[in-house]
Chains A and B, each alone.
Chain A
Amino acid sequence: MIKLNVNGRVHEVDAPADTPLLWVLREWVGLTGSKYGCGVAVCGACAVHMDGDVARSCGIMLGDVGDAKIVTIEGLSADGLSHPVQKAWLAHEVPQCGYCQSGQIMAAAALLKATAKPTDADIDAAMTNICRCGTYQRVRAAIHTAAKSGAA
């Protein structure tokens, strides 16, 4: 059994230490908001927060998480809507198919925590998640809106 702190709750997980955090979250903890897109930490659909920093959970092994506090999209806000990034996403109608958006939102929330008023260049550098529907223009606009509302 390995202890895992997710969204403020400690779970006892009966999975091997070399299991990727993404699959632990999805299949052992039962939180499916973090998505499988590539499995090689390229697409960002699996992004979570690890002690406040954005992390691609498909590339992190359970045994390496230790005491770190994990926050998934399900834990970003109590009602799933009230985080400034979620509000901005709704205002700009960002999602199309929506599959990448958990990761986009988690990446954006971490960016705004680190950089309250990001420039376009900051956004370019931080937002490397893949969206196949092509919502990038609205992702950028929504981050600026969230920044104005004081996301951090």
Chain B
Amino acid sequence: MNDISTLGRRGFLGTAAAVAGGFSLGWTVPGGAQVAHAANSPAVAAGGLEVGIWAVVHPDDRVVVRIARSEMGQGTLTGLAQLVADEMDADWSKVEAEYIAPEVNLASKRAWGDMSTGGSRGIRASVEYVRKGGAAAKAMLVQAAASQWGVPVGECAASEGVVTHRPSGRTLRYGQLAAAAAKLPVPADVVVKQPSEWKIIGKGVKRLDTVEKLSGKLVYAIDLQLPEMLNASIAQCPVFGGKIGSFDAAKVMDMPGVRHVLRVDDSTIAVVADKWWQAQSALKALPIVWDEGANANVDSASIAKHLESGLDAKEAFVGLKQGDAAAALGTAAKKVEAVYGTPFLNHATLEPMTCTAKWDGTTIGVWVSSQNGDASLAAAAEAAGVKLDQVRVHKHHLGGGFGRRGKQDYVRQAVLIAKQVPGRPVKMIWSREEDMQHGFYRPITMAKMQAGLDAQGNLVALHARLSGQSILAHLFPQRIAGGADPVQFQGWNKEEFGYQAIPNVLIDHAMRNTHVPVGFWRGVNHNQNAIYMECFLDEVAHAAGRDPLDFRLGLMGQMPKLRAVMQAAADRAEYRKKLPEGVFRGICANYGFGSYTAAVAEVSVSKAGELKIHRIVAATDCGYAVNPDQIAAQVEGSFVYGLSALFSSENTVAKGRIVEGNFDTYEVMKLDQMPVVETVLVPSGGFWGGVGEPTIAVAAPAVLNAIFAATGKRIRTLPLKHHDLSHA
């Protein structure tokens, strides 16, 4: 969940130059130089006035905040609106939001900044310029009021959408000032508020996008209906890297509604019909012969062997090195060793990949739920073979993203289909099976963990050897540095590793790639790295005869905020108090995406092996907390994502293809498995951390460590459904 354009490898390189030319960096923020006004802004079309570039003010006082990032459930849209509205001193009850169109951003030298929505960066990477945008709008409104009254600006103050002339008590509402304010130059130098002055930032205000999600009225990309619209369903070669052999279109052309059977690219076939159900029915009946290629021989067992070969391989890329771990392990009084592993995982957004495209001979329009509007625009231009300014991107809210919709493969396909059906919009919807079997999976990895204790039980050496697949090698080979993938070491690099007090540390990676496409899966490599490290440290603490919390706290000297957040979780969970008979604790911590997280799990495991999670306490220090209620929602949801992966989710490979085709075999957590999650927010201020992803990393290790406490069993491979937790 990183970075901009995620076209195919060749596609990305081919478009990069064009993108760099069009999207000149160093954009003008917050509109110091006047930028092109957003011609297609719904708020402007409805009579609103642009006060700067981030806010449109209606005469009736409604304030519409422009949003460049994507809303996929994580609450970023509301959080960004809070940031702008607070600096504006707007009346929150009158605040709305609208997306800025990618082509408008492009034409304005990307005045609204990066549209990429991943890496838990939606707020933290926007915060400086959107706040300045809000402050600029306020300055313009206050100036407009002062000019109207003929008084010095310094005598005027703004609050909740009203400017007051303090000496006289006269007031003007923002709606009354908008027309005059909109004509003023956007001030280049504005000062944002101090945290103590915030009124909307830090409040658990209601989301702006809830109401239409309760009535079925929200139009997701899959719900779009346009005049003359056709629908498409696609089939891609089930073996990654395979191609179309042949297909017999004549066999299905007479089926109801069928219009076209198309070759989309070398490995993709589409049926286009009046309705999607007709397209899907015909696709199922279409005789297809795939040229599966050499990858058809690959299966989970051969991939496992491939990874195992990396655990002791001589060649490995070093992620973190301090002291001499090998030597220290050699002389340690006691050694602990364990091998861990985690499987491929599909994102499984509940709305499958969907995109509508329309080619009118000059412009290509796409209607899409995307995590990156800029990348969707670039992908559409490349697929259509047109210039960037010939693309129109209509952003829809996402029915789940989790990193999957940063990739633009489905946009490319929709455009390739539309180009073959000019003049009519075509909505392409992937079936669930297509979605499940053509993802960009969380990479499969293993880890061999070794620790050395001295005679006093102090941890003096740690070697973590990762073996497995690299995301960058698949998605961004140009970002591989000297052969290594720096993303592989998330949580374990110099900036993030929590246990730098260990004198001798070696963390390295034997890259073992497979033919299975991999990508940024919510939480990315933190997820499995945290399982390996946090479960293994639990093993080491046990071997040292130390309490797992005290053991960790003693190693966190260089990371005081991580130590504090772990302490906060422990305090709320009353860690030092005895639990009821049969209930056991597990604890863990992690630092990622700019935030500190820790969790305590309380579980019981029956003699027969039935697991029950009684309680989760999850602490987060994200620096500044923009919306505490939405942060809690992300923390709760992170446990569902993380515990689904712990309990039951996995993608396996047979004959070169992904075996699991739907939610009947790719099992995810349901409500009856949901533990009570208590969110403990300990925002220490001074920085802006992410919240959409960091907590996932601590979900599984806390529960696994509690399972050990309850059963004496160390579970080192996921998912849990393959393990017997029964105990004497």
A residues with a Cβ closer than 8 A to B are: 16, 19-20, 23, 26-28, 30-40, 42-43, 45, 72-74, 76-77, 79-81, 86, 89-90, 93, 95-102, 105, 123-125, 127-140
Contacts and interface: CB of A to CB of B under 8 A. Distances in A.
A142 B424 CA distance: 43
B465 to A, nearest CB: 32
Contact of B637 (A38, A40, A102, A135): A135
B636 A138 contact: yes
Interface string B634-676: 0011111100000000000000000000111000111110101
Contact of B72 (A73, A89, A97, A100): A97
B216 A27 contact: no
Given A97-B73, A130-B670, A137-B676, A102 B351 contact: no
B398 interface: yes
Interface stretch (B203-211, B238-246, B509-517, B597-605): B203-211
A40 B671 contact: no
A47 B180 CA distance: 50
Interface in B373-423: 397-402
Contact of B351 (A27, A86, A90, A99): A99
B277 interface: yes
Give me the 10 closest cross-chain CB pairs, A-B, nearest first. Answer: A33-B216, A80-B215, A134-B640, A134-B637, A97-B73, A98-B213, A96-B73, A99-B399, A73-B216, A124-B672
Chain B CB within 10 Å — which of A33, A86, A134, A139 has the most? Answer: A134
B219 interface: yes
B305 interface: no
Given A19-B277, A45-B350, A95-B213, 19 more contacts: A27-B277, A32-B219, A33-B215, A80-B211, A89-B210, A90-B206, A93-B206, A96-B637, A97-B73, A97-B401, A127-B671, A127-B672, A128-B672, A130-B670, A132-B402, A134-B640, A135-B633, A136-B636, A137-B674
Chain B CB within 10 Å — which of A20, A30, A130 has the most? Answer: A130
A19 B73 CA distance: 31
Chain B CB within 10 Å — which of A27, A96, A139 has the most? Answer: A96
B222 to A, nearest CB: 7
26 contacts: A27-B276, A30-B225, A33-B217, A35-B222, A36-B432, A37-B350, A38-B664, A43-B350, A43-B663, A73-B215, A80-B215, A80-B217, A81-B215, A89-B210, A90-B206, A93-B206, A93-B633, A124-B672, A127-B670, A128-B672, A130-B663, A133-B400, A134-B639, A137-B636, A137-B676, A138-B636
Contacts of B350: 35, 37, 43, 45, 97, 99-100, 130-132
B216 A133 contact: no
Contact of B638 (A35, A125, A134, A138): A134
Chain B interface size band reads: 35 or more
Given A20-B277, A43-B350, A97-B350, A80 B214 contact: yes
Contacts, number: 180
A40 B398 CA distance: 22
A23 B431 CA distance: 13
B677 interface: yes
| Secondary structure call for the A interface | loop
B218 interface: yes
A32 B225 contact: yes
B128 interface: no
A76 to B, nearest CB: 8
Contacts of B349: 97, 99, 132
A143 B144 CA distance: 49
A127 B674 CA distance: 12
Contacts of B277: 19-20, 23, 27
A42 B211 CA distance: 26
A38 B434 CA distance: 11
Contacts of A27: 231, 275-277
B73 A86 contact: no
A9 to B, nearest CB: 16
Contacts of B677: 137
A94 to B, nearest CB: 8
B60 to A, nearest CB: 21
A37 B216 contact: no
Contacts of B209: 98
B432 A136 contact: no
A97 B398 contact: yes
B91 interface: no
Nearest to B639: A134
Nearest to B679: A137
B575 interface: no
B348 interface: yes
Contacts of B636: 134-138
B664 A42 contact: yes
Chain A CB within 10 Å — which of B72, B348, B351 has the most? Answer: B351
Contacts of B217: 33, 74, 80
Contacts of A101: 213-214
A71 to B, nearest CB: 11
B216 A102 contact: yes
B237 to A, nearest CB: 21
Contact of A81 (B74, B206, B214, B225): B214
A22 to B, nearest CB: 9
Given A32-B225, A123-B671, A127-B671, A39 B432 contact: yes
A45 B218 CA distance: 14
Nearest to B637: A134
B276 A23 contact: yes
B215 A35 contact: no
A136 B674 contact: yes
